Structure 1
Amino acid sequence: MNWHELSANWDHTVGKLQTWFPALDRSRLADPPRDSRALTRHIADMHELTVEEARDALQDFMHREDLARRATELASQ
């Protein structure tokens, strides 16, 4: 999953993000952040993480979502 995929379906994605990052402020995330750095900073601030830790956690989330999407696609073939 890349930033375009994450932000294109924001209403769906933000719910999944909140499962991984429960302290996210949904009111500040009504619209997708302008880029992944802004979301990374928000995750870091809300979860008492460094920016590097938040970036790694967001990348893990995006990778897991990509794997889940691929598994679903394979299962439907």
Structure 2
Amino acid sequence: MERLSEKELKEIIDEMKKNGKYEEYHDMILDDYEEHQVVYKLDPDEMVALAYKNGTIPYKMKDYYDWHEMNLLVEEEDGI
């Protein structure tokens, strides 16, 4: 799994805050959880920065899904 250094993470997040993309991407992560019960392995800022760096959206980065947590949520919702 690709990880960002603290310096690289800070630079990307600062750039995103300047160009207004930070809130947009953060909202995407909240929507992913609320609409699709997607849980990511990384903290939100790192997930946002990785998606932005790779020119995609978090939802398309399935490698970073926490499938175990997502399965627990589905089972809980289904009453299993």
Bigger Rg, which one? 2
TM-score when normalising by structure 2:
0.30
